[in-house]
Structure 1
């Protein structure tokens, strides 16, 4: 599948035939086409804050909560330095989706749709099955410990099962399958670090991570099936870029 950016660049190969006003008009049209091709798919990233609003409405204690921590979870070390990877979650998601968009519009839409569907399903589970993640009593005083405190203040110890951090990282890793090898393995590696960070800063437990991966695989396959049945759903105006 040829990226839309390559098509735009190949169109510019004819630029040498134009001179004066004709060249200026050609450049203006090319810039406008590039802007339109980029802007519309990127606007769908606004679905993330929408799903985030559902999370915020439930990010508080409820009368009945479940603790899924096991002895293995308690045996895992608390590593404040991993809070850096946890905090970089949002920039990582947006950057990876942007890179996927350069490679394949359909893969971008499938990944984006899977993320949105997965986040909605997570919030349904949060509503029906509220969990609580025990946090360490002693966090420390270093720079990374202060970052952990910031994370704890912004992201309460509820709504942990499944982990949205794990879900979304797994999905962008799945969506990056068409990327060149160096980018693909970079996404895999950073996704793994963010997933590990959810455990090492005691923001999630192993059950949360496992559920996030299983749910991610399910919604990615569902959106992939929709793509194969109704390609136009993922290609506005029926065009392949």
Structure 2
């Protein structure tokens, strides 16, 4: 693996000496590119964990949503066109890997730390949602959605898919911010701006389709930053996952997705 020059800095402002950056070294077939299968597996894991917490909270008698609502949240207008970038974020993990492959900066050992960070971040999100139940109460009404045509129909679909309970922190924001920080380790010089632009677009989308409070955005940034500083960077520096067999990396992702699937099926049944 190639190591980043000690004169460069990461988004947190710390020197990146001793931190891995994507290189072009030869990778084994299974331990390398086939680890990309972790992306859809972890996305399934995240989605099902999200739905599980939504089901568990649906009967909650406690709602901290009013504590998060501010006048500024109420003033933010409903802009249905922002449902498009919101939906695109569902495939953001795949876009990140695709960029790394096309730019020839994909390194399976580096991406393992991103998978680990995402796995742990999902767990923390669920714990926070369950600990602090909060329901979104500012979604656009049926009349407003109907006036918005097909964009309103898409927004209505998002509302149906997104449980109103998993509010703070915003999973969209946490992932987009973590991806922006992670891009310092694999994006080529001068090509990190799309990841920052993606974060800004995601932040605007969750607010303008009225699916999150401003506090949720702040909470998502805080969570993504914390996972990066406390999990991703320390694990990278120590090379904790470098020598793991690819079969184990894929196996853990598969086990996580399977466990979430079984849990979801048991609640649905």
**TM-score computed with the length of structure 1 as normaliser:** 0.79
1:6 equivalenced with 2:13 (yes/no):
no
Whether the aligned pair in 2 keeps the contact of 1:176 and 1:184 (CA below 8 Å) is yes
Provide runs of 4+ in structure 1 moved above 3 Å.
1-8, 33-36, 97-107
Count of equivalent residues: 213
**What are the residue-to-residue correspondences of 1:185-204 with 2, within 5 Å?**
185-204=193-212
**What are the residue-to-residue correspondences of 1:76-115 with 2, within 5 Å?**
76-100=76-100, 102-115=105-118
1:5 to partner: Cα distance: 7.4
How far apart are the structure 1 equivalents of 2:22 and 2:85?
A: 31
Residue by residue over 1:40-60, the C-alpha shift from the partner in whole angstroms, topping out at 9 and shown as x without a partner, is x21322123123222111214
Cα distance 1:47–1:92, how it changes in 2: closer, same or farther (>3 A)?
A: closer
Residue number in structure 2 paired with 1:50: 45
Whether the aligned pair in 2 keeps the contact of 1:58 and 1:127 (CA below 8 Å) is yes
Unaligned stretches of 5+ in structure 2? 3-20, 247-269
1:132 to partner: Cα distance: 0.7
1:200 to partner: Cα distance: 0.6
1:141 to partner: Cα distance: 3.4
How far apart are the structure 1 equivalents of 2:32 and 2:83?
A: 36
Residue by residue over 1:195-224, the C-alpha shift from the partner in whole angstroms, topping out at 9 and shown as x without a partner, is 210011011111111011001111111221
1:119 equivalenced with 2:131 (yes/no):
no
How far apart are the structure 1 equivalents of 2:23 and 2:154?
A: 38
Larger Rg: 1
1:161 to partner: Cα distance: 0.5
Whether the aligned pair in 2 keeps the contact of 1:110 and 1:220 (CA below 8 Å) is no
**What are the residue-to-residue correspondences of 1:10-49 with 2, within 5 Å?**
33-34=28-29, 37-39=32-34, 41-45=35-39, 46-49=41-44
More relative contact order, 1 or 2 (CA 8 Å, 6+ apart)? 2
Which is further off, 212-221 or 178-187? 178-187
1:35 to partner: Cα distance: 6.3
Cα distance 1:34–1:183, how it changes in 2: closer, same or farther (>3 A)?
A: farther
Whether the aligned pair in 2 keeps the contact of 1:93 and 1:169 (CA below 8 Å) is no
Whether the aligned pair in 1 keeps the contact of 2:24 and 2:107 (CA below 8 Å) is no
Residue by residue over 1:134-164, the C-alpha shift from the partner in whole angstroms, topping out at 9 and shown as x without a partner, is 1122222322111101101111211111000
Computed over aligned residues only, the root mean square deviation of the Cα atoms, in angstroms, reads 2.4
